[in-house]
Amino acid sequence: MPRCECSCGAKYKLPDSAVGKKAKCKKCGEVFVVESDEIGIAPLDDGPNMMDEFAAAAGKAATKRKAMEKEVQARADADVRIPSTAIDYDRAKDAVAAGAPPAAKGYFEAMMWAFLFPTNLGNMITFCLIWLLLFVGEFIGAWMCGLVQMIALAYFVAFLFNTIANAASGEEDLPAFTAANGLAEDLVLPFLRYLGTNIIAWLPAFIATIAFQCPDVWSALWNDPLSLQSPSGEAQIVILLWVMGTFLWPMFALCVELGGFGALLRMDLIFVSIVRAFPPYLLTAVLVFAGWVSLLFTNELLKEAGISETVTRVIISVGVYGYLNIVAMQAIGLFYHHFKSRFAWDWG
């Protein structure tokens, strides 16, 4: 049995069958022909192939790297959430080093582009059509018993609910102005969802209004909130319930759009989801409220600015109203898109 030693100093004991065959040193990789009376090295046929070992090691490293990348991405999607018992600085540092933006950063960047949605030509065309629809409903509807206004408003709120769905799925473009998927799918069902969530959100305030017999408070909340100076105790309850409904409506809209009306039965999960991402949800609720009251306040500001022309006031007012409401609905969808890992449901 030949005993071989490579020029690099590695020693091997080889079987007699290796004589006359080529062998490669495990240490330096040099290839020689083994002879019975010479110092030899491990044969290629019997010894392990270092290239195979390197390939296996590379495969293990690649598998480990992919697992680490998935873990970092999962942490980034969860906005590098901090455990309740201690601050995990290492986990936060890993996610930042991986270049994956936290959910909050992604949300606020997306919101910046949501405000700039008219810079996209397709979105601008859609917005102009919505603007025209609102103007026709607000201005012309006044002389047609409100029928045109109701139709325009129904079309608009259906478009808003479709905007929530688009943004929740990560779409940057506004939904189509036309009913591409059919009248029921793109208009009737979204309108019913919008109407239903509004009724559920403000039903407690409406019941309190009837119970306390203060319809003037209910009317003021919708038409002139600033007129509510020093409200009575009963009126304060109505106002509190109305504010609570306004605050909860964005989450109600998400629940119904993504999980159906049945999701509203789990108020515990709704509150848990809000608490888990409270700052961005609060911003979303504020934007929704601003969109709702923008028509009233814009019209009043234009009057104070000395713009007496009714047509001009309506054009500007409905334009601001349409713009802010579209941004608000995008905010609702983007809130889910960036913080869905914190929701108590799993809608994909």
Cβ 334 vs Cβ 167: under 8 Å: yes
Q: Is residue 171 part of a domain?
A: yes
68 and 176 in a single domain? The answer is no
Domain count, the chain: 3
CA distances 245 to 97, 207, 225, 239, Å, are 41, 12, 15, 10
111 contact partners, CB below 8 Å, separation of at least 6: 283, 330, 331, 334
What sign has the CA pseudo-torsion 221, 227, 233, 235? negative
Single residue among 74, 97, 120 that ends a domain in this structure: 97
Q: Is residue 247 part of a domain?
A: yes
6 and 117 in a single domain? The answer is no
Single residue among 97, 113, 136 that ends a domain in this structure: 97
58 and 133 in a single domain? The answer is no
Residue span of the structural domain in which 3 resides: 1-48
Long-range contacts of 315-319 (CB under 8 A, 24+ apart): 315/135, 317/138, 318/131, 318/134, 318/135, 318/138, 319/131, 319/134
Q: Is residue 347 part of a domain?
A: no
115 and 205 in a single domain? The answer is yes
16 and 83 in a single domain? The answer is no
The token pair that represents 315 in the structure block: 């054009």
Q: Is residue 161 part of a domain?
A: yes
Q: Is residue 133 part of a domain?
A: yes
The rounded distance, in Å, linking the Cα atoms of 326 and 321 is 9
302 and 252 in a single domain? The answer is yes
Q: What is the pLDDT of residue 37?
A: 55
Q: What is the pLDDT of residue 106?
A: 87
Q: What is the pTM of this model?
A: 0.68
120 and 207 in a single domain? The answer is yes
Q: Is residue 73 part of a domain?
A: yes
203 and 322 in a single domain? The answer is yes
What is the amino acid identity at position 180?
A
291 and 199 in a single domain? The answer is yes
Query: b/e per residue, 264-284, with b = 16+ CB within 10 A?
Result: beeeebbeebbebbeebbeeb
Q: What is the pLDDT of residue 88?
A: 39
Q: Is residue 92 part of a domain?
A: yes
- Walking along the chain (348 residues) 10 residues at a time, the average pLDDT comes out as 72 73 76 62 46 55 58 49 37 44 80 93 94 84 66 89 91 84 84 93 93 85 75 86 94 91 91 93 94 85 81 89 95 93 75
330 contact partners, CB below 8 Å, separation of at least 6: 111, 114, 117, 163, 164, 167
Q: What is the pLDDT of residue 45?
A: 45
Q: Is residue 348 part of a domain?
A: no
What is the amino acid identity at position 2?
P
60 and 141 in a single domain? The answer is no
127 and 149 in a single domain? The answer is yes
180 and 329 in a single domain? The answer is yes
